[in-house]
A and B are shown apart, each in its own frame.
Chain A
Amino acid sequence: MYRNKYRLIIPFLAPSILLYVVFVLYPYVNAMYISLTSWRGLARAPQFVGLQNYQNMLNDGNFWNALGNNAFYIAVLPVFKLSLALFFAFVLTQGVPLSKFYRVTYFFPQVMSMVAIGVLWSFVYHPTIGILQAVLKAIGISNPPVWLGNPDAVLPALAGVSIWASVGFYMVLFIAAMESIPITYYEAAMLDGATRWHMFWNITLPMIWGTLQTALIFIMIGATDMFAITQTMTEGGPNRSSEVLSTYLYQEAFISSRFGYGTAIAVALFLITLFIAVVLARLLNRENLEY
């Protein structure tokens, strides 16, 4: 029945393969080469400089500053996103009033672009027109920080926006995983007199471990990125205090025309992300429960 199957296979595959090779594979491979060149400007040709860019990176204070800011997000975002999402997911699968409404509401930020969210929160944080300042003053905090203009406040402020935007997404993931746990497990535990707290730790959490792991890796990848939110809200400022690797490499390449160096940062960013993902997968790869 598969007579002449190549008459179908070739036209069905050819356009996808062509697009994929030209626009995806080639640039990725090309990036490795460009990262080994010095390339200053559109008109000039790239010059091969070996590992020079990577060496410069090690002595570049701005690189370490940006990496440090990413490290802040890597440390902070998973804790808040996971604990809030797990909490909401568990509570909302227990049949509390309005649970349907909460699910729909919490998830909503996920359908907006990070840019729209960034603009909205730029308004909220704004020192004169922002509603947050008004709220804080109303509850008696007379001198709240200028959130996006203060080097000490800006990272937590951006982290807050990121958490606000994605808790609902992880909650929905966890709810889907929790709802596929067989009810008999809970019934058995109930007969043994287990509390909800026990059931959460001893049934729910182990049973959704695989999903939790996926979520953690997603959050980590997000924490190494943070581009749209940072670029929209602060462009890395004030004075580089919210700059992350992604905005730094964008700046280096497309504003300062240091294409070789920018690509080298991109390669470093990729290796860091890959390293985190591999380490996490290793650390967390407890036996997944089968049921």
Chain B
Amino acid sequence: MATDSMVNPPATGQLTRYRPSNAEIAGKVLLNAVLAFWAVLVIFPMVWLLYTSFKSDQEIFFSPWTLPATPQWDNFRRGWVDARIGEFFLNSFIVVLPSLAGILFLSSMTAYVLARFPFPGNRVLFYTFLAGMLFPTFLALIPLFFLVRNLGMSSTYHGLILVYIAYSLPFSVFFLTGFFKTLPSELHEAGIIDGANQYQVFFLIMLPLAQPGLVSIGIFNFLGMWNQYLLPLVLMTDAKRYLLTQGLAYMLHQQYYRNDWSALFAAVTMIMVPTLIVYVIFQNQIQKGITVGALKG
């Protein structure tokens, strides 16, 4: 990172003036040992998970340390098919992708209006959306369960999609309103003068300009929805439609009766490895996207 050297105050200038003492060297070694230790603490459980998922149940039980004698590829088949990880993946995609498209679409339209168009009630509306961030989902959980049920949307994809969109609105609207406010209004005026209507100005000029904001809020919402557990747990009670998080917890709890640990390890590996790959490729955007909430707040 370019900024590293900037925030690297004392090192270079002082080294020329004196030799580091033994205590300083010991301190450095200790410091690096601590850093390495935490890295091992993060990485090792995952590496262990990865190689264990190729082991047989026998090996898993009697030698937790060792590498698999022969890789048991069948673990992955059983995890994908018998433990139904494949289905859970599909269900998660069916819910999360439309939810993501919906929240980006609705929150950008709402934020655009709130940021650029003065009208009576504009501020009240903005703060009403903001208020949604104050309350924990727990508080709404039980009434929401009955509401969704009464609307005939229990255990339906579209029911959960609507709920996901609704609960993502407060933060997304808040974030994007701030973002649209920073865009220059001259572009808007120029568009109108050139004969574009308001819709064209929004979709052809403003939305492309808001792209960095949409990427951040998109990543933030995608991870939030993909990793969501509480809402599907209560609203997707039909085991055929379990999302990935639910399916995973369900499998773990089932395991105490079934004892197919190797398939379970393989299933968790199949969930973790794609996440890891996507993270390593996009880690800059992802770190920005996830921390976006706290930095603004």
Mark A residues whose CB is within 8 Å of B. 1-2, 4-9, 12-13, 15-17, 19-20, 22-28, 30-31, 34, 84, 88, 91-102, 104-116, 118-124, 128-131, 133-134, 164, 167-169, 172-173, 176, 178-179, 181, 183, 186-187, 189-190, 196, 199, 211, 214-215, 218, 221, 225, 227-228, 231-232, 235, 246, 249-250, 253-254, 259, 262-263, 266-267, 269-270, 273-274
Q: Does B18 contact A (CB under 8 A)?
A: no
List B contacts of A111 (CB < 8 A).
223, 275, 278-279, 286, 290
Contact B31 A91 (CB under 8 A): yes
Asked if B279 and A108 sit within 8 Å, CB to CB, the answer is yes
CB-CB under 8 A from B189, the residues of chain A are: 1
**Which residue of chain A has the shortest Cβ distance to B188 in the bound complex?**
A1
Closest Cβ–Cβ distance, residue B293 to chain A (whole Å): 9
Chain B 175-199 near chain A by CB (<8 Å), digits 1 or 0: 0000000000000110010000011
With a cutoff of 8 Å between Cβ atoms, the chain A residues found around residue B60 in the complex are 129
Flag if B252 contacts A254 (CB, 8 Å): no
Chain A min CB distance to B263 (Å) = 13
- In Å, the complex CA distance between A25 and B99 comes to 19
Tell me whether A27 and B144 are in contact (CB under 8 A): yes
Tell me the dominant secondary structure on chain B's binding face: helix
Given contact pairs A24-B132, A263-B142, A102 touches B162 in the complex (Cβ within 8 A): no
| B229:A95 contact, CB within 8 angstroms | no
**Contact of A95 with B249 at beta-carbon distance under 8 Å, contacts A23-B162, A28-B135, A121-B45 already known:** no
Q: Is the interface of A mostly helix, strand, loop or mixed?
A: helix
Instruction: Contacts A16-B110, A120-B45, A173-B291 given; indicate if A28 touches B272 (C-beta within 8 A).
Output: no
Q: Which residue of A lies closest to B135 (CB)?
A: A28
Write out the residue numbers on chain A whose beta carbons fall within 8 Å of the beta carbon of B245: 113, 115-116, 228
Assuming the contacts A105-B42, A232-B249, asked whether A114 and B229 have C-beta atoms less than 8 A apart, the reply is: yes
The reply to whether A115 and B249 form a contact with Cβ atoms under 8 Å apart is yes
Given A112-B227, A183-B6: A263 and B143 interface contact (C-beta under 8 Å):
yes
Which residues on the A side are within 8 Å of B3 (C-beta)? 179
Q: List chain B residues, Cβ under 8 A from A228.
A: 229-230, 245
> B7 to chain A: which residues have CB within 8 Å?
93-94, 178-179, 181, 183, 186
Q: Assess whether A31 is in contact with B143, with CB atoms less than 8 Å apart.
A: yes
Contacts of B49 in A (CB 8 A): 120, 123
List chain A residues, Cβ under 8 A from B246: 115
Instruction: Flag the segment in B8-16, B71-79, B207-215 that touches A.
Output: B8-16
Answer yes or no: B257 CB below 8 A from chain A CBs.
no
Kindly provide the distance from the CB of B114 to the nearest chain A CB, expressed in whole angstroms.
Answer: 8
Residues in A neighbouring B65, C-beta threshold 8 A: 131, 134
Q: Does B147 contact A26, Cβ atoms closer than 8 Å?
A: yes
Question: Which residues of chain A are within 8 angstroms of B10 by Cβ–Cβ distance?
Answer: 186, 190, 196, 199
Q: Does B81 contact A (CB under 8 A)?
A: no
| Closest chain B residue, CB of each to CB of A128 | B61
Counting contact residues on chain B (CB < 8 A from A), the size range is 35 or more
20 pairs, CB–CB < 8 Å, chain A vs chain B: A1-B192, A5-B198, A22-B147, A23-B166, A101-B39, A104-B283, A105-B39, A107-B287, A110-B290, A113-B245, A114-B227, A116-B245, A123-B45, A164-B42, A179-B3, A211-B294, A215-B294, A228-B245, A232-B252, A253-B141
In the assembled complex, which residues on chain B have CB atoms less than 8 Å from the CB atom of A178?
7
Return the CB mask of B126-167 against A: 1 if under 8 Å, else 0: 001100101110111111111100000000000000110111
The residue in A105, A181, A187 that gathers the most chain B C-beta atoms within 10 A of its C-beta is A105
- Residue numbers in A under 8 Å from B61 (CB-CB): 128-129
Q: Which residues of B contact A24 (CB under 8 A)?
A: 132, 140, 166-167, 169-170
**Cβ–Cβ < 8 Å partners of A214 in chain B:** 294, 297
**What total count of A-B pairs have CB within 8 Å?**
279
CA gap between A228 and B125 in the complex, in Å:
32
In the complex, chain B residues whose CB is within 8 Å of the CB of A179: 1, 3, 6-7
- B110 lies within 8 A of A13 (CB): yes
Instruction: State A196–B202 Cα separation when bound (angstroms).
Output: 50
User: Residue B236 at the A interface, CB < 8 A?
Assistant: no
CB pair B141 A266 closer than 8 Å: yes
Contact of B107 among A16, A17, A122, A262 (CB under 8 A): A16
Q: Identify which of residues 233-291 in chain B touch chain A, using a CB-to-CB cut-off of 8 Å.
A: 233-234, 244-246, 248-249, 251-253, 261, 264-265, 268, 271-272, 275-276, 278-280, 283, 286-287, 290-291
B9, A199: Cβ atoms under 8 Å? yes
By a CB distance below 8 angstroms, the chain B residues around A6 are 119
Q: Are A116 and B268 in contact (CB under 8 A)?
A: yes
In the complex, what residue of chain A is closest to B283 when comparing beta carbons?
A104
Q: Which of A8, A168, A235, A273 meets B199, CB within 8 Å?
A: A8
Complex contact B119–A246 (CB within 8 A) = no
Looking at B147, B162, B249, B295, the one whose CB has the most chain A CB atoms below 10 A away is B249
Give the residue name and chain of the A residue nearest to B230 (CB): A227
Q: What's the least CB distance linking B54 to chain A, in Å?
A: 14
Name the contact of A12 in the complex, choosing from B109, B128, B167 (C-beta under 8 A). B109
Chain A, residue nearest B229 (CB) = A228
B94 within 8 A of A: no
**Docked complex Cα distance between A109 and B286 (Å):** 12
Q: What CA separation (Å) do A196 and B10 show in the bound complex?
A: 8
Q: Does B23 contact A (CB under 8 A)?
A: no
Q: List A contacts of B227 (CB < 8 A).
A: 112-116
CB of B95 within 8 Å of the partner chain: no
Point out the residue from B11, B64, B192, B275 that lies within 8 Å of A112, measured CB to CB: B275
